[in-house]
Structure 1
Amino acid sequence: MGNHIVSDRNNKKMPLGDDCHAWKKKTTDVKDQYDFKEILGTGAFSEVVLAEEKRTQKLVAIKCIPKKALEGKENSIENEIAVLHKIKHANIVSLEEIFESKSHLYLIMQLVSGGELFDRIIEKGFYTEKDASKLIQQILDAVKYLHDMGIVHRDLKPENLLYYSMDEDSKIMISDFGLSKIEGSGSVMSTACGTPGYVAPEVLAQKPYSKAVDCWSIGVIAYILLCGYPPFYDENDAKLFEQILKAEYEFDSPYWDDISDSAKDFIVHLMEKDPHVRYTCDQALQHPWIAGDTALDKNIHESVSAQIKKNFAKSKWKQAFNATAVVRHMRRLQLGTSSEGPSPTLPSPCQTHLEDGEACCEGGCSQNVEGGADPLSNCTYRCHPTSRV
């Protein structure tokens, strides 16, 4: 699962009901309804393609998953589809349709074309606590929606936050539900998963946990949005885990000198070691830094953007769906900004020949599907940057 932590594999079926299979839409050729335009990214187990619905000319992102890569992981894909299919929220990337052929699953996803959170902050000339507060409010609202539905995201981090459009006032969108789990009645999750720097202490301690893990992660994201570096960092994983387990973090000078006490108070309530004391989304939404006017208007762009560049180099954080590629592809195709010209002809994606146990990646490499990696840890449509752009 890449940089995700996995302590055990629970093969029991998730409490999702019996209608998962009814959602799959059988089709011999998804291209009867969608015009495949560009490959946006290629992961070890799937390809993401920019496509246009022929009937409406609407642009979408299609995640093409070879069934060969899913052997033995059918429950995981059912869980992902069950989770995604239930979710309808303005700040969460939606799964619009599911197609199935003999060889592939096709997940038709809402296209987000505004690029990545860090890119947008760096590009801004002006950035304030108020901007950060508005971002966190949207994230809290979306995560509260998930929690109210009994869904825990479990892997909230900046890479999973994408802008809906290039508009200056674009909303932010949460993507990536590969680690989501719908809480069954009375069930308590104990599988350790997530990305080390963002996971809550109780996850690392392998204690039972629930929705509170997402609130911790939102606290970590808020911290980064206000200073540009993570609250916990060490090259040594054991030392990193020790910091997180003790909830040892500081508001270091000079980086936090100009940040309001209200912002710090907000973070402290979310990055609270005890999950029972930690703020819920409801409580966080009512905090003055979110609901009131305590977030400052002072420009902190220079300091924050410098730290983001230093601490989140592209190679470190550009692991998710290649949102920048979408922006570049759309500009090149002049989609949505002027009359559409003919799109370049590309090799047809999702038709790679699969040898037994292998999935081919762009660039000619191959990775073993049986190697224990989870192709679904990369949802909603997470894939590696490609050399095409």
Structure 2
Amino acid sequence: MSKPKNKPWDKKWEIVKPIGGGGQGDTFLVKPKDAAILSQTFVLKKLKNQKYPERRKRMHREVAALSTLDCPGIPRLIESNSDQFAADVPLYMVGEFIEGKTLSQFLEAPAKPMGIGDAITLVLKLLETIQYCHDLGIVHRDIKPDNIIIRCNDISAPVGASQL
């Protein structure tokens, strides 16, 4: 598969800034080009190594799973073109932007260590989200502190970042 020059996300989304990435994808803060429709920011994740069929299928499976989930502990899927995983187009997905630090960042520089009550609350909320996914037959492939965002820095509102 040759490297496509088109960027299908450019039709609807304007990249504000890069915000990270992992082994499977790069993420960017984006805003809709038509601000009359939505005035908030979102996260664009584009697949790295677009030419590998297995990675393309994996992204499609992730998007299919996200499209079935409705839980405060999981970012909402806004749109994706992953249904074109068998075609020669760059794959991407856009999801809800969760304001807050990752759990790793949250724990790095606290004024005081996390109390036992907060730790229990955090773990119970994470377990609720994991149970919700497992009840639907969905398993997160990479649960770790870097993939958990503390929504608005409220320890009782952890959100699991999706994984490609």
Quick check: 2:101–2:149 contact (8 Å CA) kept in 1? yes
Quick check: 1:66–1:104 contact (8 Å CA) kept in 2? no
Give 1:75's aligned amino acid. Answer: K
Shift of 1:66: 5.8
Change beyond 3 A, Cα 1:33–1:144: same
4+ runs of 1 displaced by more than 4 Å?
42-45
| Percentage of identical aligned residues | 21
CA-to-aligned-CA distance 1:153-180 (integer Å, 9 cap, x gap): 24322222111224x5561111233xxx
Matched, 1:48 2:34: no
Change beyond 3 A, Cα 1:124–1:28: closer
* Structure 1 residues without counterparts, runs of 5 or longer: 1-26, 178-378, 380-389
Report the TM-score when normalising by structure 1: 0.35
Match of residue 39 from structure 1? 18
Give the secondary-structure state (helix, strand or coil) at the position aligned to 1:64: strand
Give 1:148's aligned amino acid. Answer: D
Quick check: 2:121–2:156 contact (8 Å CA) kept in 1? no
Quick check: 1:50–1:61 contact (8 Å CA) kept in 2? yes
Q: CA RMSD in A?
A: 2.7
* Structure 2 residues without counterparts, runs of 5 or longer: 1-5
Distance 1:136 1:67 in 2: 34
Match of residue 40 from structure 2? 58
Change beyond 3 A, Cα 1:42–1:121: closer
Quick check: 1:67–1:105 contact (8 Å CA) kept in 2? no
Quick check: 2:19–2:29 contact (8 Å CA) kept in 1? yes
Distance 2:159 2:62 in 1: 18
Change beyond 3 A, Cα 1:118–1:73: closer
Report the TM-score when normalising by structure 2: 0.76
Match of residue 261 from structure 1? none
Quick check: 1:92–1:173 contact (8 Å CA) kept in 2? yes
Match of residue 94 from structure 1? 76
Match of residue 3 from structure 2? none
Match of residue 172 from structure 1? 158
Give the secondary-structure state (helix, strand or coil) at the position aligned to 1:151: coil
Match of residue 99 from structure 2? 113
Give the secondary-structure state (helix, strand or coil) at the position aligned to 2:100: coil
Matched, 1:132 2:119: yes
Which structure's CA Rg is the greater one?
1
Change beyond 3 A, Cα 1:130–1:47: same
**Which residues of 2 match residues 313-324 of structure 1 at below 5 A?**
none
Aligned length: 151
Match of residue 67 from structure 2? 85
**Which residues of 2 match residues 292-331 of structure 1 at below 5 A?**
none
Query: Which of 123, 134, 141 pairs up with 2:109?
Result: 123
Give 1:82's aligned amino acid. Answer: A
CA-to-aligned-CA distance 1:263-318 (integer Å, 9 cap, x gap): xxxxxxxxxxxxxxxxxxxxxxxxxxxxxxxxxxxxxxxxxxxxxxxxxxxxxxxx
Shift of 1:44: 5.9
Larger helix share, 1 or 2: 1
Larger strand share, 1 or 2: 2
Quick check: 1:60–1:108 contact (8 Å CA) kept in 2? yes
